[in-house]
Amino acid sequence: MEEIEIKFAVKDTKAVTERLRKLGFRIAIGRHREKNYLFDDGSGNLQKLGKLLRVRKTPSSQTVTYKGPILATSKLKHREEIECRIENADTMIRILEEVGFKVRTEYSKYRTVFEKEGFNISLDETEAGNYLEVEGPSDEAITNLATELGYSEQDFVRRTYAELIAERRGVPGGSKKESS
């Protein structure tokens, strides 16, 4: 399945939450902590190819996700995403490690999910800052919503959380450990 999304830096989480509510978005999943584990082989081949293999733990679900490279043909992020729920994230982590993958980056974030008519919006609080991640049905729909929220194309953040957090940590290519 193709994922179409873009991030925006958020200075005031309360103001953006209020704006989303005024536009008719409802909270689908309340604020919760997510723990993310990004995997790669010993040579970093997935990262070199712009691919991602992630195990995520949340209070309500655990998933394994593959994301393909970000397509360069759009101002928004287009990439293949394949995801499924798993019964036990710790067991999946062990399986991936046993077949040669290693945790390249691990990080947590607090996330609140809003939904409305084909849009899934996440308000993410990360160690690299707060971001609004907007997923929608098309570039045009996302760009129009961005305008309604007070953002422009100059505000688009195409970088991944792993990249943003690695930069914040001062570690090229990511870090295995979370900041305390």
Q: What is the mean pLDDT of the chain?
A: 94
Give a yes or no: residue 179 inside a domain.
Answer: no
Residues 6+ apart with CB under 8 A from 20: 114, 121, 123, 149
Domain count, the chain: 1
Rounded to an integer, the average pLDDT of 7-19 is: 96
- The predicted-structure confidence for 102-138, as pLDDT tens digits, reads as follows 999 999 999 999 999 999 999 999 999 999 999 999 9
Rounded to an integer, the average pLDDT of 34-39 is: 98
d(CA 79, CA 71): 6
Residue 30 scores a pLDDT above 60: yes
pLDDT band at 176 (very low <50, low <70, confident <90, very high): low
Give a yes or no: residue 175 inside a domain.
Answer: no
Give a yes or no: residue 65 inside a domain.
Answer: yes
pLDDT at 175: 54
67: tokens are 């994301």
Give a yes or no: residue 53 inside a domain.
Answer: yes
pLDDT at 178: 56
The candidate with the shortest Cα–Cα distance to 41, out of 53, 32, 30, is: 53
Domain coverage including residue 133: 2-169
d(CA 41, CA 52): 11
Rounded to an integer, the average pLDDT of 52-77 is: 95
Give a yes or no: residue 176 inside a domain.
Answer: no
Residue 173 scores a pLDDT above 70: no
Give a yes or no: residue 42 inside a domain.
Answer: yes
Give a yes or no: residue 178 inside a domain.
Answer: no
Residue 4 scores a pLDDT above 70: yes
Give a yes or no: residue 57 inside a domain.
Answer: yes
For residue 158, what is the domain's CATH number?
2.40.320.10
